[in-house]
């Protein structure tokens, strides 16, 4: 595993005693969690003065040139322990689930030497990234078994945020992601408005289902379960945060932490709440908001990301649970019987240390997000989503569904005509939601995925900058995408 480097948590606090107690914490491994199976992390390293993500493996940068991030990524069949007591046939990036995090900064050039060691075609899609068409890892550019492909792209200014990578082969995405192929991306802004002293976590949420032998279970063809999975998308009863079931994160009373959360689940939508705590919602798909929002909970649909500040308002020694609260995304007749149960995701354990004197001040404005002007829009594209179809069509690789001019500004009017949620994702270009069900949204945000609850609608505005090509748009319930709930926008 020499292609990986490990990072753990540091906090450069002004109070000496905090520094000392933290050094002790890292030294004693208390930040490493207490339930680790399979590809758990047993090492940590610290990078002084740099922002680092607690206990999340990072793709090692092989380049010593500044402004270049060059990494190796291999997808292969592995046998890993995901649930206690079992080994499981999986697909993994660099031998891990999730794959190691890709970390780069605005302005960097990223080069990924990808090798497909799987027995089937795959691609690597860089979800949310603004990059050339041939680098998008869409179904148009499969990488065959045994083949290699070098993905290279530039990180545009203003795109700092949390993204993720996953396969996107035609009809096989749900299966390959279900087998373990997904990983996180953090793009950093050299001028990040938040202090680099905050402990930062990247939490990749996924769920999976296992048979009695501990193998990943997919429904038998023709079974009732297959009908349910086709309709709802495949859900599992085992919830993972990164590679762990119910991991434990550590916080000190008074401390503020920065959490980046990715919904990498094929179908499960998370309504997240932290017992007795509120969140400061500071960012989503395309990075930080202009203005932080105080919220009690947050709904994260498939493919979406959230950046949150968690305030350690609890007492020393207290234990609180991050929960997936009931969320009804289903058609009534297909609703699972346990849909209204609250599920536990992780434990946030307060240390026994006396409350830290947090001198953290949240900036009122995190950054300015340039407005895409509605008056510039030259077209409105209406997308009618029904179960399995967009505008009454299923995906055809040989058909272009929408054609637009490079540089054009357009409005997309997404209408969900059925009674279950469909999260809508556009490749290649971040957009700004204008309104939902006719009501203007509270503030401008960069998004690449917008969830449409049953019978709801939303409009967003987008400008097709820089990159011509055939860009996918689709429902991000992966089973729906594989069934053909997807289309092609050609920008030329
Ligand atoms: Cu869908």
Average pLDDT, the chain: 90
Q: Which of 222, 264, 235 is nearest to 97 (CA)?
A: 264
How far does residue 390's CA lie from ligand 1's centre (Å)? 10
Residue 366 lies in a domain: no
How far does residue 206's CA lie from ligand 1's centre (Å)? 17
How far does residue 490's CA lie from ligand 1's centre (Å)? 22
How far does residue 386's CA lie from ligand 1's centre (Å)? 8
Last residue of a domain, one of 166, 188, 210: 188
How far does residue 237's CA lie from ligand 1's centre (Å)? 20
Residue 357 lies in a domain: no
How far does residue 183's CA lie from ligand 1's centre (Å)? 22
Count of structural domains, the chain: 3
Measure Cα distances from 309 to 138, 319, 379 in Å. 33, 18, 38
Measure Cα distances from 268 to 91, 206, 373, 479 in Å. 20, 8, 34, 11
Same domain assignment for residues 85 and 122: yes
Sign of CA dihedral 262, 266, 271, 276: negative
How far does residue 214's CA lie from ligand 1's centre (Å)? 28
Instruction: Check residue 490 and give its pLDDT.
Output: 98
Residue 194 lies in a domain: no
pLDDT digits 0-9 by tens, 15-65: 333 333 333 233 233 223 322 332 333 233 333 334 556 678 999 999 999
Last residue of a domain, one of 350, 384, 404: 350
Q: Where are the alpha helices (DSSP H) in 206-303?
A: 224-232
Same domain assignment for residues 439 and 463: yes
How far does residue 481's CA lie from ligand 1's centre (Å)? 7
Residue 368 lies in a domain: no
How far does residue 393's CA lie from ligand 1's centre (Å)? 13
How far does residue 301's CA lie from ligand 1's centre (Å)? 11
Of the pLDDT bands very low, low, confident and very high (cuts 50, 70, 90), residue 360 is confident
113: CATH: 2.60.40.420
Same domain assignment for residues 431 and 457: yes
How far does residue 487's CA lie from ligand 1's centre (Å)? 13
How far does residue 217's CA lie from ligand 1's centre (Å)? 21
Instruction: Check residue 358 and give its pLDDT.
Output: 74
**Which residues, listed in sequence order, are joined to residue 307 by a DSSP beta bridge?**
260, 283
Residue 248 has pLDDT above 80, yes or no: yes
Same domain assignment for residues 45 and 135: yes
**Which residues, listed in sequence order, are joined to residue 263 by a DSSP beta bridge?**
205
Distance linking the first and last C-alpha atoms of the chain: 43
Residue 450 has pLDDT above 50, yes or no: yes
Residue 369 lies in a domain: no
How far does residue 103's CA lie from ligand 1's centre (Å)? 30
Q: Contact at 8 Å (CB) between 299 and 271?
A: yes
Q: Is 231 helix (H, G, I), strand (E, B) or coil?
A: helix
Instruction: Check residue 51 and give its pLDDT.
Output: 52
Q: What is the mean pLDDT of the segment spanning 319-338?
A: 96
Same domain assignment for residues 287 and 397: no
Residue 129 lies in a domain: yes
How far does residue 475's CA lie from ligand 1's centre (Å)? 4
How far does residue 482's CA lie from ligand 1's centre (Å)? 10
Tell me how far apart the alpha carbons of residues 54 and 284 are, in angstroms, rounded to a whole number: 20
How far does residue 187's CA lie from ligand 1's centre (Å)? 28
DSSP letter at 66? T
How far does residue 416's CA lie from ligand 1's centre (Å)? 9
Q: Which of 188, 190, 128, 200 is nearest to 164 (CA)?
A: 128
How far does residue 478's CA lie from ligand 1's centre (Å)? 8
Same domain assignment for residues 206 and 100: no
Residue 428 lies in a domain: yes
pLDDT digits 0-9 by tens, 125-173: 999 999 999 999 999 999 999 999 999 999 999 999 999 999 999 999 9
How far does residue 252's CA lie from ligand 1's centre (Å)? 40
How far does residue 334's CA lie from ligand 1's centre (Å)? 14
How far does residue 485's CA lie from ligand 1's centre (Å)? 7
Task: Say what percent of the chain tops pLDDT 90.
Answer: 87
Give CA 234 to chain center in angstroms. 18
Tell me how far apart the alpha carbons of residues 254 and 277 are, in angstroms, rounded to a whole number: 12
pLDDT digits 0-9 by tens, 280-323: 999 999 999 999 999 999 999 999 999 999 999 999 999 999 99
pLDDT digits 0-9 by tens, 468-484: 999 999 999 999 999 99
Q: Is 375 helix (H, G, I), strand (E, B) or coil?
A: helix
Looking only at the bridges linking them, the beta strands covering 402-404 and 486-491 are parallel
Classify residue 430 by burial, with Cβ atoms within 10 Å: 0-12, 13-18, 19+: buried
Same domain assignment for residues 63 and 128: yes
Same domain assignment for residues 330 and 451: no
How far does residue 491's CA lie from ligand 1's centre (Å)? 24
Instruction: Check residue 54 and give its pLDDT.
Output: 64
pLDDT digits 0-9 by tens, 452-466: 999 999 999 999 999
Q: Contact at 8 Å (CB) between 129 and 158?
A: no
Same domain assignment for residues 85 and 167: yes
Rg (CA), the chain: 22
Q: What is the mean pLDDT of the segment spanning 402-430?
A: 98
Residue 28 lies in a domain: yes
Q: How many C-beta atoms lie closer than 10 Å to residue 214's C-beta?
A: 16
How far does residue 11's CA lie from ligand 1's centre (Å)? 41
DSSP letter at 23? H
- Model's pTM, two decimal places? 0.90
Looking only at the bridges linking them, the beta strands covering 99-105 and 183-188 are parallel
How far does residue 392's CA lie from ligand 1's centre (Å)? 13
Domain extent at residue 387: 374-491
Tokens standing for 233?
């998308």
How far does residue 446's CA lie from ligand 1's centre (Å)? 21
How far does residue 337's CA lie from ligand 1's centre (Å)? 20
Instruction: Check residue 359 and give its pLDDT.
Output: 80
Tokens standing for 152?
């290279």
Q: Which of 467, 255, 486 is nearest to 349 (CA)?
A: 255
Q: What is the mean pLDDT of the segment spanning 204-211?
A: 98
How far does residue 480's CA lie from ligand 1's centre (Å)? 5
Q: Is 134 helix (H, G, I), strand (E, B) or coil?
A: helix
How far does residue 477's CA lie from ligand 1's centre (Å)? 5
Last residue of a domain, one of 139, 168, 188: 188
Same domain assignment for residues 134 and 31: yes
Instruction: Check residue 53 and give its pLDDT.
Output: 65
How far does residue 288's CA lie from ligand 1's centre (Å)? 27
Same domain assignment for residues 253 and 313: yes
Q: Is 173 helix (H, G, I), strand (E, B) or coil?
A: helix
How far does residue 474's CA lie from ligand 1's centre (Å)? 8
Task: Say what percent of the chain tops pLDDT 70.
Answer: 89
Residue pointed to by tokens 């046939």: 89
How far does residue 435's CA lie from ligand 1's centre (Å)? 20
Same domain assignment for residues 205 and 105: no
Cα-flanking dihedrals φ and ψ of residue 65, to 5°? -75, 135
């Amino acid at each position: 595993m020499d292609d990986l480097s490990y990072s753990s948590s540091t906090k450069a606090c002004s109070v000496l005693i905090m520094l000392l107690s933290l050094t002790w914490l890292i030294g004693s491994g208390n930040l490493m969690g207490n339930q680790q199976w399979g590809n758990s992390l047993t090492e940590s390293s610290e990078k002084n003065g740099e922002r680092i993500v607690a206990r999340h493996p990072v793709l090692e940068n092989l380049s010593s040139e500044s402004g270049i991030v060059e990494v190796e990524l291999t997808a292969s069949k592995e046998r890993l322990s995901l649930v206690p007591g079992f080994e499981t046939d999986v697909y993994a990036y660099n031998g891990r689930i999730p794959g190691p995090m890709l970390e780069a900064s605005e302005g960097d050039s990223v080069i990924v030497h990808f090798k497909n060691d799987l027995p089937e075609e795959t691609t690597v899609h860089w979800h949310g990234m603004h990059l050339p068409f041939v680098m998008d890892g869409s179904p148009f550019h499969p990488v065959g078994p045994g083949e290699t492909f070098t993905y290279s792209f530039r990180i545009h200014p203003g795109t700092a945020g949390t993204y993720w990578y996953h396969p996107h082969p035609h009809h096989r995405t749900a299966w390959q992601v279900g087998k373990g192929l997904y990983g996180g991306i953090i793009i950093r802004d050299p001028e990040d408005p938040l202090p680099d002293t905050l402990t930062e976590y990247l939490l990749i949420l996924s769920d999976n289902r296992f048979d009695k032998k501990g193998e990943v279970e997919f429904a038998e063809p023709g079974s009732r379960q297959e009908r349910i999975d086709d309709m709802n998308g495949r859900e599992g009863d085992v919830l993972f945060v990164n590679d762990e079931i119910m991991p434990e994160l550590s916080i000190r009373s008074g401390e503020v932490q920065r959490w980046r959360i990715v919904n990498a689940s094929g179908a499960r939508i998370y309504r997240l709440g932290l017992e007795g705590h509120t969140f400061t919602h500071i960012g989503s798909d395309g990075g930080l908001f202009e203005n932080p929002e105080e919220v009690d909970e947050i709904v994260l649909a498939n493919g979406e990301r959230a950046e949150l500040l968690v305030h350690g308002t609890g007492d020393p020694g207290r234990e609180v649970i991050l929960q997936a609260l009931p969320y009804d995304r289903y058609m009534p007749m297909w609703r699972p019987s346990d849909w209204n149960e609250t599920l536990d995701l992780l434990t946030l354990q307060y240390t026994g240390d006396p409350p830290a004197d947090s001198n953290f001040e949240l900036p009122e404005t995190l950054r300015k997000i340039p407005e895409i002007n509605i008056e510039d829009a030259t077209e409105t594209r209406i997308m009618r989503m029904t179960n399995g179809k967009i505008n009454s069509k299923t995906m055809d690789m040989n058909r272009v569904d929408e054609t637009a001019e490079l540089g054009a500004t357009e409005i997309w009017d997404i209408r969900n005509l059925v009674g279950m949620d469909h999260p809508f994702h556009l490749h290649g270009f971040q957009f700004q939601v204008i309104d939902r069900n006719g009501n203007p949204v509270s503030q401008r945000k960069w998004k690449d995925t917008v969830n449409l609850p049953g019978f709801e609608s939303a409009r967003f505005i987008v400008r097709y900058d820089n990159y011509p090509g055939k860009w996918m748009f689709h429902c991000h319930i992966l089973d729906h995408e594989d069934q053909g709930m997807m289309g092609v926008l050609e920008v030329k």
